[in-house]
Amino acid sequence: MFSKTCEYAIKAVLYIATQSLNNIRVKIGDVAENTGSPEAFTAKILSTLTKHKLLHSIKGPYGGFEIEEKKMKQIKISEIVYAIDGDAIYNGCGLGLNKCNAAKPCPMHDKFIKVRSELKKMLETTTVHELATKVKAGKSILIRN
Amino acid sequence: MFSKTCEYAIKAVLYIATQSLNNIRVKIGDVAENTGSPEAFTAKILSTLTKHKLLHSIKGPYGGFEIEEKKMKQIKISEIVYAIDGDAIYNGCGLGLNKCNAAKPCPMHDKFIKVRSELKKMLETTTVHELATKVKAGKSILIRN
DNA sequence: CTTATTTAAGATATTTTTATCCGAAATAAA
DNA sequence: TTTATTTCGGATAAAAATATCTTAAATAAG
Ligand code: SF4
Ligand code: SF4
């Protein structure tokens, strides 16, 4: 469904958001540890997310990552997926034809479009804040030990 | 969504099925050419599909691949996906947690499960015959030139 | 039986994805 | 100013996915 990189990215954002809800700024090591992701690779991902303005980073001692509560209410999961995996999941086709054409589509078109648009809608209507709140309340987890 | 290998596999099966509807047996080269897939790689994929009994292969001169009409009415697209990509798309989780647990799920669980089960249902209710018929009737295509 | 044709299977190569490493830049505190 | 801490950015490395090549096995036809 998503690339591994994208899974790490979603978990990382949700972990940072959850901690930000408690006004705790977190370091790369914390994120890696609490999402079950490799640390150096997590650094790369967080850097990408920061460039896309999905996270706020602070360098130096007592630095780390955080997300304002206002921001996490705005950011949708779709934006994280887009920043990492690009638009393939939104615009790419099920059978990978070079170009799409509704007049003469691939034979799975109708059925495929239906499922894909539901996925898209789901990602576009789910906010980081909504999910982070669930994690904070202990209703769900980001890592299984 | 699917691996590239899986996309090739679906297109290959549909091409072979479409030709079988006209009682034409096809060779690897034909399949590759008419699905826009690399030939040697297509050979590997067809071999896998044959082992999974999703295709019938005949060696030697005048040989090639075919699917009985009876068979193509039975085979669902889900079976092709399963043969190539395994059960990740059916049982894997959106965030890639090691194990799933409905009691303490990942925060996307509910929404994710909904979309995934629709995808699963779609694949499990679409037969090869249904799609091959569409292609045969010229209503859809497998390759864009 | 011999030859030509075709799939099967294993070895190898290339590309992409995932992951690590290391030095630079920023910055807070002593 | 110096030091310790932390992110940033570029260079590599390892693993997985995708793709090719080469030889073997099967078989139809002459
Ligand atoms: S025809 Fe439809 S389903 Fe097929 S590749 Fe194009 S957009 Fe996707
Ligand atoms: S909790 Fe649900 S959505 Fe999350 S990984 Fe498990 S099955 Fe998938």
Cβ-count burial of A38 within 10 angstroms (0-12 exposed, 13-18 middle, 19+ buried)?
exposed
Query: Mind listing the pLDDT tens digit for each residue in A103-116?
Result: 778 788 888 889 99
Q: What are the tokens at A21?
A: 């809800």
Q: Give the residue from chain B lying closest to A91, CA to CA.
A: B1
Report how far apart, in Å, the C-alpha atoms of B10 and of each of B101, B119, B137, B145 are: 32, 15, 18, 18
B112 interfaces chain A, CB cutoff of 8 Å: yes
Query: Mind listing the pLDDT tens digit for each residue in B109-124?
Result: 888 889 999 999 999 9
Distance CA B56, CA A129 (A): 52
Report how far apart, in Å, the C-alpha atoms of A105 and of each of A54, A113, A135, B135 are: 36, 11, 42, 10
- Decide if pLDDT at A64 tops 60: yes
Name residues whose C-beta falls within 8 Å of residue A7's C-beta, 6 or more positions apart in sequence: B94, B95, B96
**Closest alpha carbon to B65 in B30, B29, B32, B16:** B16
Query: Mind listing the pLDDT tens digit for each residue in A65-83?
Result: 999 999 999 999 999 999 9
Q: Give the residue from chain B lying closest to A122, CA to CA.
A: B111
B101 contacts A144? CB cut-off 8 A: yes
pLDDT for B77: 96
pLDDT for B145: 54
pLDDT for A107: 82
Name the pairing type of β-strands B56-58 and B64-66. Answer: antiparallel
pLDDT for A138: 87
B97 interfaces chain A, CB cutoff of 8 Å: yes
With b for 16 or more beta-carbon neighbours within 10 A and e for fewer, the B72-90 pattern comes to beebbbbbbbbbbbeeebb
State which protein residues have CB closer than 7 Å to strand D: A 26-29, 43-44, 46-47, 50-51, 57-65; B 3-5, 8, 37-41, 43-44, 58-63
**Ligand 2 centre and the CA of A129: distance in Å?**
18
Name residues whose C-beta falls within 8 Å of residue A123's C-beta, 6 or more positions apart in sequence: A76, A77, A78, A81
- Residue A133, SS3? helix
pLDDT for B90: 81
Given a cut of 70, the residues of chain B with pLDDT beneath it are 97-102, 145
pLDDT for A84: 96
B2 contacts A105? CB cut-off 8 A: no
The answer to whether B133 and B14 are in contact (CB under 8 A) is no
Distance CA B14, CA A95 (A): 11
pLDDT for A98: 61
Fold held by B4-85+127-136: Arc Repressor Mutant, subunit A (1.10.10)
Q: What is the percent of chain A with per-residue pLDDT over 90, rounded to a whole number? A: 74
pTM of the model: 0.93
HSE, CB side, 13 Å, CA atoms: give it for residue B119.
Answer: 24
B2 interfaces chain A, CB cutoff of 8 Å: yes
Best B111, B113, B127, B134 residue to mutate vs chain A (most A CBs within 10 Å) = B111
Q: What are the tokens at B119?
A: 């995808």
A114 interfaces chain B, CB cutoff of 8 Å: yes
| A104 vs B contacts (CB less than 8 Å) | 139-141
Name residues whose C-beta falls within 8 Å of residue B6's C-beta, 6 or more positions apart in sequence: B80, B81, B84, B85
Q: Which helix (H) or strand (E) segment is A109 a member of?
A: helix A109-125
